[in-house]
Amino acid sequence: MKIKLTFWRVVFIVIMGMGLYSTFVRYSHGLGAVSNMSDRFPWGLWIGFDCLCGVMLAAGGFCVIGAVYLFNIQRLHSVVRPAVLTAFLGYLLFIVGLLFDLGRPWYIWHQLIYMNPHSVMFEVGMCVMAYTTVLFFEFLPNVLERFNLKAPIRWIKRIYAVLVVLGILLSTLHQSSLGSLYLIMPSELHPFWYTPALPFLFFGSAIAVGLAMTIFESTQSAKAFGRHLELPVLVELGGALLVALWVNALLRFEDYFHRSLLGQIIKPSYEAYFLWLELALAFVIPISMLSFKKVRLSPNGLYLASVISLLGFITNRLNVSLIGFETYVGHHYIPKWTEFSVTLMIIAMGFALFGVAVKHLPIFPQENHVVEQRVRTKPEPLVGTVVLGHAGD
Amino acid sequence: MSKALLYDATMCIGCKQCEVACAEQNKLPYDDKVAAESVQSEHKYTVVMTKNDKFMRRLCMHCEHPACASACPVGAFHKTKEGPVVYDVWKCIGCRYCMVACAFAQPKYEWHSLNPRVRKCIMCPDRVVAGKQTACAEICPTGATKFGDRDDLIKEAQDRIRQNPSTYLPRIYGLHEVGGTCVLILSSVNVEEYGYPASNKIGDTPMPEYTGRVMEKIPDFIPVWSLVLGGIYWISHRRQEVAAAETAERVEDEGNRSKG
């Protein structure tokens, strides 16, 4: 079989090559050689993006599962499988990212035997571990169906209610706890982002991101695999996204209002620029767009609004984890290229794995044969076609 | 009773003997190059800084309620009853949450090691348990760093301020900051000028309380939220069942009627 070199394949190979080089440096020369982290900036891009954004972008899984199974909104059923796949991959890649960032990753299992219940990090660790297991079981039916194993599917169906409730409970806990991590640093994190409401804001934004991510990945899969786009589903998600964005925007406003910061946030400053960028991308632009019925009913409009809000919430997480510390530290942290390359490699792995899963598993069951046919007649590159909602990294 | 260190900056002559003793005690390299370094690092747990011919020492504050110990997911840090905040390296997974959590930025990291450890002053716990002073206090030629019971040292510091009000600023840094620390500082200039965090910024509330307020709600939150979620699940599915049963009934009724 001849593999054709296409643009995206070359990009993929370059990214993987640079990433593997950085991986080698990371494990042969240590964190100091591979990153610009230092005693002044002990947490860098890998925590800010790979962990915080990764988990946030994988929130689509619990949002969609919650809508379809908890609230029994069956019309959204078609997006469950891709959302669960995205979430499962997201959490797996989050763990991969953690193996890069932890100084002593070979002791990661210590989490299970030396427990400190006072630590937010402990709670996040346990929840992520447990939730990844839940996602494994939510994802498993795809594999079982592929190999026509009916009995285990029945067992999983029997405990599905438990999986649903457990998954949402664990997501509530660790999505919010990622915000709680920063509560212990009131003197370090800039007041624009340090607030006792951090856990609520992190959880609220995870729901908005989950909805936006589902719109993003559905549209992308439609484009990549030539699938029929289920517009009514997207429209419904878009409406929910608009509501979620409003709720989040109001929470942010309330927070600044109660801490009497409204005067400060409109004054230009280094932090204010980043805050404006965040608020514009997360709220102002997507809310304005989605307020038009025309946009809410158009696939392109929904897609664009979702992507912009995703960028906004990514900016938010980076502000909380990186920008918000710069004034306190008195030093700018700019990630080294090797840090970027590891992050890019993990994202690329997510895209590739999504593609492999969609190709071989009944993620989009009704149109499976169509996809296969298309793949056979027109050998599209795996990576090129799959510009998909990978989530985490 | 908890032991502590009182550092009186006005008595310090900047001889750096404490740095030497600390390096020796912790088996760290020490030479002229290290002596010239003015920042703490993984090979320099304490540093004597100079500014306008005045000296200031920095070291781990050994908080009464240490943020590092509360933050560590595997409990690699703990506060001993004698006062020192110590580190169990074999537990550490290297997440570095202690480093970001510490308001005094004391934990440092072996960035270039393949099995890196967190490094900081641990207040010579072996010596303290054995009833001896810390290495730095023992060697200090002027008594600028003094070891003793925390309560006694506080009284002494207050006496010094009372007897020489013109020499000292009327404050003991570490008395109330973040709920109190086991390193107490007396000085004629503000410690903030040497990079210590401002008292009003870090406040008197122990740092672990900020996260504790959220963490303590979790044991209640889990059962309540599970019940709510389970309830929603039951209601939404029950409605579907009822609707299905009603439809079936209606179909049956209509069937009966058409028969009759």
Domain ranges in chain A?
41-219+226-385
- DSSP lists the bridge partners of residue A8 as none
Predicted pLDDT of residue B260: 55
- Contact assessment for residue A50 and residue A198, using Cβ atoms and an 8 Å cutoff: no
Q: Does A250 touch chain B (CB under 8 A)?
A: no
Q: Structure tokens of A102?
A: 């932890």
A349-388 pLDDT, tens digit each:
999 999 899 888 888 865 544 444 444 444 344 443 333 4
Q: Do B229 and A31 touch (CB under 8 A)?
A: no
The whole-chain average pLDDT of chain A stands at 89
Q: Do B97 and A181 touch (CB under 8 A)?
A: yes
Predicted pLDDT of residue B246: 87
Q: Does A183 touch chain B (CB under 8 A)?
A: yes
Q: Which residues contact A83 (CB under 8 A, 6 or more apart)?
A: A60, A61, A63, A64, A65, A210, A213, A214, A217
Q: Which residues contact A39 (CB under 8 A, 6 or more apart)?
A: B40, B41, B42, B99, B105, B108, B109, B111
- DSSP lists the bridge partners of residue B184 as B6
CA atoms within 13 A on the CB side of A342: 28
Topology of the domain covering A41-219+226-385: Formate dehydrogenase/DMSO reductase fold (1.20.1630)
- Residue indicated by tokens 């806990």: A173
Residue B65 is given by DSSP the state S
CATH number of the domain located at residue range(s) B3-207 in this protein: 3.30.70.20
- Contact assessment for residue B75 and residue A114, using Cβ atoms and an 8 Å cutoff: yes
Q: Does B212 touch chain A (CB under 8 A)?
A: yes
Q: Do B100 and A185 touch (CB under 8 A)?
A: yes
Predicted pLDDT of residue B253: 81
Mean pLDDT, range B145-167, rounded to an integer: 95
Using CB atoms within 10 Å of the CB of residue A300, give its burial: 0 to 12 exposed, 13 to 18 middle, 19+ buried.
exposed
Angle between helices A337-360 and A7-29 (to 10 degrees): 130
User: How far, in Å, CA of A177 to CA of A164, rounded?
Assistant: 20
* Residue B59 reports pLDDT greater than 60: yes
- Contact assessment for residue B26 and residue B43, using Cβ atoms and an 8 Å cutoff: no
pLDDT tier, B259 (very low <50, low <70, confident <90, very high otherwise) = low
CA atoms within 13 A on the CB side of B12: 29
The ipTM value here is 0.89
Mean pLDDT, range A276-301, rounded to an integer: 95
The Cα of B183 is separated from the nearest Cα of chain A by a number of Å equal to 19
Instruction: Provide Rg for chain B, Cα atoms.
Output: 29
* Residue B1 reports pLDDT greater than 80: no
Percent of chain B at pLDDT exceeding 70: 99
Q: Which residues of A touch B116 (CB under 8 A)?
A: 30-31, 103-104
Q: Which residues of B touch A72 (CB under 8 A)?
A: 236-237, 239-240
Mean pLDDT, range A14-20, rounded to an integer: 95
